[in-house]
Structure 1
């Protein structure tokens, strides 16, 4: 996959070995034991082209959205947006608005959503767009809150849905995913129903819908298939009325498509829950910087392409766009990996450093599969799918979980999103450059992984030293030599240690409103305005002080101690703080620079509050709405938060105390945590052995009859658990294979055990409280051929089976509404 990148990097390395000045640098650092790594980033990006990309109407009342061979544009300017997947049919409509506001606060610009056919057509010929299926209302809420919408209507979506979302009766009487006339007639009817929901809401009409993804993971190449089928579907969409600025297809797993008619979008995940392997995977290539191929390895397409995919040959003609970079991963029956914020943050940093110019996530918001007339419509091997997934639960370990909880991975991604919102127009035109030495393969955990994106004058230096489940070698006393134009910058001024697990990016020759930041050992986060003075916010990336190097030609003074390096730079060592430093420019104006700690960066959210863009630092979940800031957190009544720049005044649901540096605190009335004492309904029987088979030739989810061996408990939750503001969380700590929660005959949720406490938001089931619920747990056999992380394995007995319910409790969620002026 990376052989092309290594060849190109080798050619670059031959050139960089002849840099003037690098030999002297190497000689000067050899005695000190420093290691200097090199990149030639002096070549400008290739010329831009766009006439060959045949998209739809680009201009509407909201402006113009365009695309060229390198990046997206908005009103003619480079644009690098963040797109996050949220399935409207997998979340109750009553929750949509609050969840969309959470996504916006997390830095999402574009909401992408599958229109999953079998969740919208409940019986042959009966499309239903009411309630949770009301696509028009979902789109109108996006427009209300300034979010754009990218529709993914399939018709084959995958989405871990039965038959990829194509209804059973369409599968039974046509040849799906081809130009078969019977199939196309069904697609025409379905898509016309979707268009009826979105008519008047397209970008050209002033609506939020800017794009359409055609099909998904399409690599079939036979009669009535292949590139012609994608062309047929695009023509059908346009004939129906879907005239949008952007048309895309997924570009991985040997996808074929008519080049120029659609744009390939890429993806990658930090584990493969669809893998048949029962042990840890080898290091994933998503932790390598990409220079020769944009296409990730196996992303789980249900079909296998035979020929070289079209995206491999389309890189010079299309921008590097993403749609399915995993902000989490699903838990499937045979494979149940648990990912950390560092796992995700490192992979995303690496993709940006490889040239990604649309940061698209799948999933950004988890969901729940709806039951259709009591029938499950999830993907199963028994129905010909490649995977077994829970009937209902689709949490995906996403930044926003199945019930809307803000998960820790959000803290690893929000700083990146804030950077793209403030400075993405600078990054988008920059090309990725490879170092002289690349890792030999994805399994090489000793060689430093880094890249530079530049426009030949300025740029950003990306480093990744993290690979999921594999300790990386630390790199002590490192310096970076980067050639830009005729100059070679050596940074920082002293050697630094890149520890195992680190991932970050640093600015090079970055313009801070007139002050040239030659480099910083900190990651740019956002730009704020306090009166007439701009504030540029950076985040520390390594322990200790952050080094800031300014061009002396652009600044005269810093408000902290600084030294001249004799090469035209003023260099300061700044400890992270919530107090900015001042930088005085040659014309006497002042720019301020705020350097946050690593911990504060993970607490950061950026949004409009009281008419101004502000930075909020808190561990609570955040959303912004005009002059109102909403905070939420589980189990903690005390809220600590900072708002920068501080508003003139604030008021809240509780008394607010103010400390220095824009910090506030408030405590809500305590709500009781409830310990639930369940009643045993039946003891566990003996679970049958887990069978091997199916398309994956791997562990098969037990048949429904196997659940006769499940243990069962009954309990009743009082309605009072939802008294007060916010949700309440049912936390079930158990050890078993499959757990299911029922209200009578209705299944409310289910989960495959993966070592975590199962957490269920109760607000969604408010009308069911006060009635007895039943929890069942199918025993997990110690010989089950499934993958669990070591953290889960250590919780299980070595032999026999387990169906153990340890505790059930209800933990209150606290919310605080803050109004700012």
Structure 2
């Protein structure tokens, strides 16, 4: 037996290859206000576990394909608990990348970034108004080239889920309907013959773009979602709504879009027909027309009800009982918020922890596909007749639209920003995406049990939030002690029994901490009695990598580990990337961005490139120098010549309710990967003008606005217009500006930033 105990976290990663002493763990049960006790008996809700029969869906609606045209035999199917690929459990991570709201020149690189962050399936709305703004005139050029996007997804080694609507919401004008559809006399979003005729023409064009790219034909398209929030906005209800869902799926199949999985959003009592219901949750609700602090969100709970009544709560909370145990479908999300869009009224600032704690709660609650919205931020295209953003007016209010959004900015505070930058939120979510990527095959097959006393009220900040996914005497235990904007107290966990006959060492769940621990599981040939650390990844089928908060990380194995057991600090784990390099799996730790390309591993960084690599390669990466070791990691550095790039304010002019600032950019000169301007301002909103034309905008949140220059040809002169915010405006901001004479309207700073590309090799 090997007992490993480490108290006193540092930034240095630790590896355990020898026996270490373990502090003696108290065996007496303690009962106090700060102590949470689980008895030796299994006190979980066994009724749920026992009643769940994992019904096979292999024969339903021809959803599996025994053989693809390219010779692959990977079938995709599902039972009531999880998805399968080629008969093996499959726990995919899905992330939204809105192709028609992005620069097609960035698709290849940014898809690779999403894959490096742990995404397997790319989801993307097909916005009807983007493709048929004028009736009968279809546009699939440039960034609307769906076929090219699907091919890029395949080249990236990823899968694709198309969210075809026809009504999509997506914070798009008319919910994605062209104006001419809105002006027709038929009943849209129903089986009305006139509406279905227009839908058929549209679907014919979409499916022609995807010919030969469905999964059974060797392509990446594994799933299609029809409609969206069907009843939340459409007010269709069951019966007629189910018939319409069935009609849309039948029409897609008729046109050649025959895929393994069909989805429909389930929240808000939506009609889903025979499609797999997919769910969502967000850490904020910017659609709420109020300027106060919102109560704690449901998404920070462990629960067996996937419905989040806060989505679309501006039309009233849609409570429903969708208990997972009674569903014939696996629990899947399509809109787990990996950010949130700011609106005219509400300007929340989202952190990685806000989204990461919710992801942990979904995994612990039994999710079998973790689908994020939005994972890559977007920029609305310019319409031929109108702008393309959701906006607030009398007609849209009746249809369920209540938000005024920026004309262009659909950044969503996403893990990958609208200009391709990986944000701290992306690094945080990578922790949970990697947990799924490397351990999901084990996790998704394990039934869920909720802690007795686990709160069902999101306002309960005192009870222990905990869930277990286990079978027999081994599995994973999940804790959440984080709620956005609501501090929680640390909790002393004593004599904790995740299952009968198993007791974990005592530990303290810190305020704001959320984590997943392992007990009695074999990983890569090593059996862990327990690991009070969160699994991160495995390397070369022998090494196990964990991460833990400072002062935590006790690990005990049965016998000698098959390989190394490596414990990272959380910061190192957030900066860690796993790739195949020089013939084996390696772990890279850097504060730069990394992804795999056709030519090898790419590092994006500034002036100095620094890496930690395990296992150490025989020779340093091209151009790097080995500067020493840190535990099992080799340390490598490379100095990079960064081209000159500067910006200065060379003019200022005030108008009625706004101030224009003229910026002069010098450079960047030479070969750079990307150049951005970080713009600090105080006001209601910011607009970017090039040659007098508005090309970008932003609502004030208190965070700097990042403007990417590459897509605009690195302009030398830029006008930044700051529009004033009145102190009495009906606006919620977490970081109010400094008002002078009741108004705020000024530029506070501009900073030039460059990013260099370093190719490490294959």
Q: Quick check: 1:512–1:591 contact (8 Å CA) kept in 2?
A: no
Q: Quick check: 1:414–1:604 contact (8 Å CA) kept in 2?
A: no
**Aligned partners of 1:806, 1:763: CA distance in 2, in Å?**
24
The equivalent position to 2:723 in structure 1, one of 778, 790, 793, is 778
Q: Quick check: 1:105–1:622 contact (8 Å CA) kept in 2?
A: yes
TM-score (norm 1): 0.83
In structure 2, the partner of 1:674 is 646
Tell me how far 1:236 sits from its aligned partner. Answer: 1.1
Q: Secondary structure at the match of 2:183?
A: helix
**Aligned partners of 1:411, 1:223: CA distance in 2, in Å?**
40
Q: Secondary structure at the match of 2:713?
A: helix
Q: CA RMSD in A?
A: 2.4
Q: Secondary structure at the match of 1:471?
A: coil
In structure 1, the partner of 2:77 is 66
Q: Secondary structure at the match of 1:323?
A: strand
Q: Secondary structure at the match of 1:123?
A: coil
Q: Quick check: 1:40–1:433 contact (8 Å CA) kept in 2?
A: no
In structure 2, the partner of 1:250 is 265
The equivalent position to 2:293 in structure 1, one of 280, 299, 303, is 280
Gaps of 5+ in 1: 1-24, 558-582, 584-589, 686-708
**Aligned partners of 2:530, 2:27: CA distance in 1, in Å?**
20
In structure 2, the partner of 1:136 is 147
Matches within 5 A, 1:472-551: 472-476=488-492, 478-483=494-499, 487-492=500-505, 495-529=506-540, 534-540=542-548, 542-551=549-558
TM superposition outliers: structure 1 runs of 4+ over 6 Å: 301-306
Q: 1:274-300: per-residue Cα shift (whole Å, max 9, x none)?
A: 111211110111001113x11112212
**Aligned partners of 2:238, 2:81: CA distance in 1, in Å?**
34
Q: Quick check: 1:465–1:472 contact (8 Å CA) kept in 2?
A: yes
Tell me how far 1:186 sits from its aligned partner. Answer: 1.1
The equivalent position to 1:450 in structure 2, one of 437, 461, 466, is 466
Q: Quick check: 1:155–1:187 contact (8 Å CA) kept in 2?
A: yes
In structure 1, the partner of 2:449 is 433
Distance 1:610 1:155, change over 3 A: farther
Q: 1:717-773: per-residue Cα shift (whole Å, max 9, x none)?
A: 34x225322211112111010111111243210000000111111111116x13x43
Tell me how far 1:446 sits from its aligned partner. Answer: 1.2
Matches within 5 A, 1:720-759: 720-721=667-668, 723-759=670-706
In structure 2, the partner of 1:560 is none
Q: Quick check: 1:415–1:605 contact (8 Å CA) kept in 2?
A: no
Tell me how far 1:101 sits from its aligned partner. Answer: 0.6
In structure 1, the partner of 2:22 is none
Q: Kindly indicate whether residue 134 of structure 2 is the aligned counterpart of residue 162 of structure 1.
A: no
Q: Kindly indicate whether residue 625 of structure 2 is the aligned counterpart of residue 656 of structure 1.
A: yes
Distance 1:756 1:509, change over 3 A: same
In structure 2, the partner of 1:710 is 658
Distance 1:34 1:269, change over 3 A: closer
Tell me how far 1:595 sits from its aligned partner. Answer: 1.2
Q: Quick check: 2:681–2:749 contact (8 Å CA) kept in 1?
A: yes
Q: Secondary structure at the match of 1:662?
A: strand
Tell me how far 1:33 sits from its aligned partner. Answer: 8.2
In structure 2, the partner of 1:578 is none
**Aligned partners of 1:778, 1:338: CA distance in 2, in Å?**
20
The equivalent position to 1:50 in structure 2, one of 56, 68, 87, is 56
Q: 1:110-169: per-residue Cα shift (whole Å, max 9, x none)?
A: 000111111112322111111111111111111112100011011001110011111000
**Aligned partners of 1:678, 1:103: CA distance in 2, in Å?**
38
Tell me how far 1:436 sits from its aligned partner. Answer: 1.5
Matches within 5 A, 1:556-635: 557=560, 583=561, 590-626=562-598, 628-633=600-605
Tell me how far 1:807 sits from its aligned partner. Answer: 2.0
The equivalent position to 1:643 in structure 2, one of 613, 627, 633, is 613
Q: 1:243-300: per-residue Cα shift (whole Å, max 9, x none)?
A: 1000010111111122xx2100111000111111211110111001113x11112212
The equivalent position to 1:400 in structure 2, one of 416, 421, 441, is 416
Q: 1:55-103: per-residue Cα shift (whole Å, max 9, x none)?
A: 5343424411111111000110111010000011111111100001101
Q: Kindly indicate whether residue 252 of structure 2 is the aligned counterpart of residue 264 of structure 1.
A: no
Distance 1:35 1:179, change over 3 A: closer
Q: Quick check: 1:325–1:362 contact (8 Å CA) kept in 2?
A: yes
**Aligned partners of 1:146, 1:41: CA distance in 2, in Å?**
40
In structure 2, the partner of 1:40 is 43
Q: Quick check: 2:345–2:730 contact (8 Å CA) kept in 1?
A: yes
Q: Quick check: 1:139–1:201 contact (8 Å CA) kept in 2?
A: yes
Distance 1:457 1:27, change over 3 A: closer
Q: Quick check: 2:238–2:271 contact (8 Å CA) kept in 1?
A: no
The range that moved more, 349-358 or 26-35, is 26-35
**Aligned partners of 2:519, 2:720: CA distance in 1, in Å?**
56
Q: Quick check: 1:192–1:240 contact (8 Å CA) kept in 2?
A: yes
**Aligned partners of 1:776, 1:627: CA distance in 2, in Å?**
41
In structure 2, the partner of 1:182 is 194
**Aligned partners of 2:456, 2:102: CA distance in 1, in Å?**
44
In structure 2, the partner of 1:6 is none
**Aligned partners of 1:725, 1:266: CA distance in 2, in Å?**
41
Matches within 5 A, 1:92-171: 92-171=103-182
Distance 1:782 1:479, change over 3 A: farther
Gaps of 5+ in 2: 1-25
Distance 1:402 1:760, change over 3 A: same
